[in-house]
Amino acid sequence: MNGLIPRVQSGLQKTVVLIALMSSLAMPAFADTGDTAWILASTALVLFMTLPGLALFYGGLVQSKNILSVLMQCLALACLMSLVWVVAGYSIAFGDGNGAADGAGAIWGGLSKMFLGNVATDSMSGTIPESVFIMFQMTFAVITPALIIGAFAERVNFAAVLVFSALWLLIVYAPVTHWIWGGGWLADRGVIDFAGGLVVHATAGISALVFVFFLGKRAGFPEDTRPPHNASFVMLGASMLWVGWFGFNAGSALGANGGAGQAMLVTHISAATASLVWMGIEWVKFGKPTLVGTATGTIAGLATITPAAGSVGPMAAIIIGSLAAMVCYFAVVLIRSRLKIDDSLDVFAVHGVGGILGILLIPALAGFGPMAPGLGGTGMLDQFSIQLTGVVVVCAWSALATAVLLSVIKAFIPLRVDSSDEEVGLDTASHGESAYHL
């Protein structure tokens, strides 16, 4: 090293030159241990949302003869989506578009990181190791297609679920993720989606609705719709989702910082408010508040605050939670009772409508009340136009791609089980098991 240092007159000068030379050399980046620890914890929390949170929430809502089929679908998708993410999902979502100069990188991330190729063991994503970022985003890729399970519960062919979900992750979820979170064209336009109002909830909700149209109604719907077989499971599952959602939203700050704290605070406030408002609606309308309804309100509040968790303060979170309960409750009644669409567990009405509502509320509420971060100089109307563009594009792509996927899949694999299997229940018909032996 001394041979590289030019002749200088003093020891101080020599030290300065040495420091300058060292700083000019390529030095490895080091992870922030606090940020890394928080994202590792958040990753576990988000996986906890699917296994066992979503599994119990959905499992309690179906008939007793179908609970194992729901649990099986959640477990199988957690495994399958993890592998699909490693094979190509991460590359499509967060690759650089293979360095294309023709704008292809604005549409998809390319395949340069298939099987996590070109990802070094010491590569970084901001202040955390890229391996941690890959795993954190993997848990989002797990829960998003799992949300769709609630739409086709109690009548779907298990093989069709696996094929559809794997292809849907690559064709719908991963490209939309790139558009918004991976530096794609919607990110360039300025769309705000902190933790997945569009990326997660709108894609899953719209695709769930399309799947229902292809699948048809359950036998006896809506005249002979059975109540949830285990409200206790519903409450336990919703509680696990609530806790896991802190990793979902606060983890999306990608660091142990004030942004994470703010996101956690408004997430909790929105969920609590929506739960109480949904409970109040039922109390006034039916004279008795239900546990299942209150838990559904919790999920509506969580879904709606998700895209706005990095953009609003506590007072806005109360407004978002209130609107989430009212709008999603109306959507459930409209879709199930008036339009008679058999979205079994209200995936579109709660997740789809909630996620879209949260996206569109950001421009009006970002600067409202104490601790409000604001829009950073963008005008309210301009930002609303940007947000609306994101909603239209993502919903249109989700609907079109899902319809094409299901049209192709049903030519090779039945989407629905036989009527006799549906009558017996999917636990026995599809998996040869029974949850209860009475």
User: For every residue of 94-126, which 3-state class applies, written as one string?
Assistant: HCCHHHCCCCHHHCCCCCCCHHHCCCCCCCEEC
The β-bridge partners of 125 are: 128
Asked, for residue 240, whether it belongs to a domain, the answer is yes
Instruction: Name the residue type at position 147.
Output: L
What DSSP character marks residue 89? Answer: I
Is the distance from CB of 233 to CB of 294 less than 8 angstroms?
no
User: What are the two backbone dihedrals, phi and then psi, of residue 124, each rounded to the nearest 5 degrees?
Assistant: -115, 150
| Side-chain-side CA neighbours of residue 15 (13 Å) | 3
Q: What is the pLDDT along the chain (438 residues), one digit of tens a residue?
A: 444 334 444 444 443 333 343 333 333 468 999 999 999 999 999 999 999 999 999 999 999 999 999 999 999 999 999 999 999 999 999 998 754 444 558 999 999 999 999 999 999 999 999 999 999 999 999 999 999 999 999 999 999 999 999 999 999 999 999 999 999 999 999 999 999 999 999 999 999 999 999 999 999 898 888 899 999 999 999 999 999 999 999 999 999 999 999 999 999 999 999 999 999 999 999 999 999 999 999 999 999 999 999 999 999 999 999 999 999 999 999 999 999 999 999 999 999 999 999 999 999 999 999 999 989 889 999 999 999 999 999 999 999 999 999 999 999 999 999 999 999 999 999 999 999 987
CA distance 411 to 2: 72
Instruction: Name the residue type at position 330.
Output: F
pLDDT of residue 437: 86
**How far, CA to CA in Å, does 350 sit from each of 123, 225, 323, 354, 357?**
38, 19, 12, 5, 10
CA distance 305 to 316: 10
Asked, for residue 161, whether it belongs to a domain, the answer is yes
CA distance 250 to 261: 7
Asked, for residue 2, whether it belongs to a domain, the answer is no
pLDDT of residue 224: 84
Asked, for residue 5, whether it belongs to a domain, the answer is no
According to DSSP H, which parts of 366-438 are helical? Answer: 380-409, 419-424, 426-431
The closest of 87, 183, 215, 81 to 140, measured between CA atoms, is 81
Q: How far is CA 397 from the centre of its chain?
A: 17
Domain holding 336, by residue range, is 36-431
pLDDT of residue 98: 55
pLDDT of residue 11: 46
Residues in contact with 39: Cβ distance below 8 Å, sequence separation at least 6, in sequence order: 128, 132, 133, 136, 251, 254, 255
Asked, for residue 420, whether it belongs to a domain, the answer is yes
In CATH, what number is assigned to the domain containing residue 252? Answer: 1.10.3430.10
Asked, for residue 187, whether it belongs to a domain, the answer is yes
Location of structure tokens 């979502």: 93
Antiparallel, parallel or unpaired: β 128-129 and 124-125: antiparallel
Q: Can you state the angle between helices 67-84 and 130-147, rounded to 10 degrees?
A: 140
pLDDT of residue 19: 36
| Side-chain-side CA neighbours of residue 406 (13 Å) | 22
CA distance 145 to 204: 6
The full DSSP string for 156-197 is B-HHHHHHHHHHHIIIIIHHHHHHHHSS-HHHHHT---SS-I
The β-bridge partners of 416 are: 156
CA distance 238 to 294: 10
Asked, for residue 393, whether it belongs to a domain, the answer is yes
pLDDT of residue 44: 98
Give the number of residues written for the chain.
438
Domains held by the chain: number: 1
Asked, for residue 17, whether it belongs to a domain, the answer is no
Predicted TM-score of the model (pTM): 0.92
**377: alpha, beta or left? (left if phi > 0; alpha if psi -120 to 50):** left
What DSSP character marks residue 309? Answer: T
